[in-house]
Amino acid sequence: MKNRLLLFCDGYTSPLQGVTVPAFEQPQSIPFIVDRVRKDYAQFDIEVTNVNDPNDTRPTAIIAVGGGSATQGGSSFNGGFYNAFPNDGFVYATTLQNNPKWIADAISHEAGHLFGLTHQSQWANGVMVDVYRRDGAIMGSPYFIDNPFWTIGQTPTGATQDDVATLTRILGAASPPLPTPPPVMIRNDCQITITAPLTVQAGATFPATFTVKNTGSNVWLPWDGAKGYNLGAQQPQDNSRWGKVRLPLPITVVSDFGTSITASFTAPTIPGDYPFAWDMVEEFVSWFGKIASQTIRVTQNSGAIPVSINNVPGIWTPTGEL
Ligand SMILES: [Zn+2]
């Protein structure tokens, strides 16, 4: 936002007016007040804040909140934001009975003066009957309706004032929110889950089931001998440790759908912990998505052929023990 409305609530001395405003007595109301003023100025290109960043060089209007006045809820100079008058105004909190809604209304009103607005007045039959419109206009008397508003009406001199047009000319319109870009769906992506035993005996056959979900935009056509998609062995790629290198898709899988694949595998003959790892592959194009992997412990097959990882002839016994 290119402009700033800066609220001082914890004491302020105006460098141009020589006026000191004491701290607002009810700081717990500040978030409510800032929020309401923000709402009034939401359609304009201005940030409303009570946090003073001394390095902020944006054009700034200042409203100091605190203290009291015998006669006024606030005061400010017309056009002080952009002309030679002081760019700071005051809102007298105790005069407004420390009422947070009234204080917010007065801030928006006094800031409106700094941005060049004068009052919205009540006219009847060509005669001004009240300098402040009483219907809730922010530049009239905003205090007694829930949601005061900017309006088009007559000023004390009888001129027409369009509040929003003036504020838009001085501050600019708020930037519309950036359009949300559509989610980028990559061509090939997948989610795979494995249901397989954690332990199998060496050399044993066992079943395992996979669910594969197509989270990309491509259609997965089953392998036809020349092209297509498979679930393939990984860690290392294309290994045949479990007796199969590829598992074909049973059906075509379109984006956002999935299928399950159940197959029978044969455990390695040498006990140990091995990865049981699978991933989707578009054959002759690429592997894709996250590899699904679990560790399967292959245990000694008690009733079968003895095996040894230190298979040195002559030193192992007929039971397979070293
Ligand atoms: Zn006024």
Contacts (Cβ under 8 Å, ≥6 apart) of 238: 232, 245
| 193 phi-psi bin (left φ>0, alpha ψ -120 to 50, beta other) | beta
pLDDT of residue 315: 36
Give residue 239 CA to ligand 1 midpoint distance, Å: 82
Position 111 pLDDT exceeds 80? yes
DSSP for residue 269: S
The CATH number of domain 3-171 is 3.40.390: yes
Position 225 pLDDT exceeds 60? yes
Give residue 13 CA to ligand 1 midpoint distance, Å: 21
Both structure tokens of 179: 């359009």
Give residue 119 CA to ligand 1 midpoint distance, Å: 6
Give residue 113 CA to ligand 1 midpoint distance, Å: 7
Give residue 191 CA to ligand 1 midpoint distance, Å: 63
* 305 pLDDT tier (thresholds 50, 70, 90): low
- What percent of the chain has pLDDT above 70? 94
Position 176 pLDDT exceeds 90? no
Give residue 110 CA to ligand 1 midpoint distance, Å: 6
Give residue 133 CA to ligand 1 midpoint distance, Å: 11
pLDDT of residue 180: 84
Position 60 pLDDT exceeds 50? yes
Give residue 50 CA to ligand 1 midpoint distance, Å: 22
Give residue 319 CA to ligand 1 midpoint distance, Å: 103
Give residue 35 CA to ligand 1 midpoint distance, Å: 21
Q: What is the DSSP string of 235-266?
A: TTTT--TTS-SEEE-SS-B-TT-EEEEEEEEE
Entry field: residues in the chain: 322
- Which CATH number is associated with domain 190-299? 2.60.40.10
| Higher-confidence position of 177 and 172 | 172
Sketch the domain layout of the chain as residue ranges: 3-171, 190-299
How far from each other are the two terminal CA atoms of the chain, in whole angstroms? Answer: 78
pLDDT, mean over the chain: 92
pLDDT of residue 114: 98
Q: What is the model's pTM?
A: 0.59
Do the first three CATH levels of 3-171 and 190-299 match, i.e. the same topology? Answer: no
pLDDT of residue 304: 52
Give residue 261 CA to ligand 1 midpoint distance, Å: 75
> Do β-strands 286-299 and 272-282 pair in parallel, antiparallel, or remain unpaired?
antiparallel
How far apart are the C-alpha atoms of 96 and 67, rounded to whole Å? 10
Give residue 148 CA to ligand 1 midpoint distance, Å: 14
Contacts (Cβ under 8 Å, ≥6 apart) of 142: 105, 106, 108, 109, 136, 148
* 254 pLDDT tier (thresholds 50, 70, 90): very high
Give residue 78 CA to ligand 1 midpoint distance, Å: 9
Give residue 167 CA to ligand 1 midpoint distance, Å: 15
Give residue 115 CA to ligand 1 midpoint distance, Å: 12
> Do β-strands 229-234 and 246-248 pair in parallel, antiparallel, or remain unpaired?
antiparallel
Residue type, 141: S
Give residue 14 CA to ligand 1 midpoint distance, Å: 19
* 313 pLDDT tier (thresholds 50, 70, 90): very low
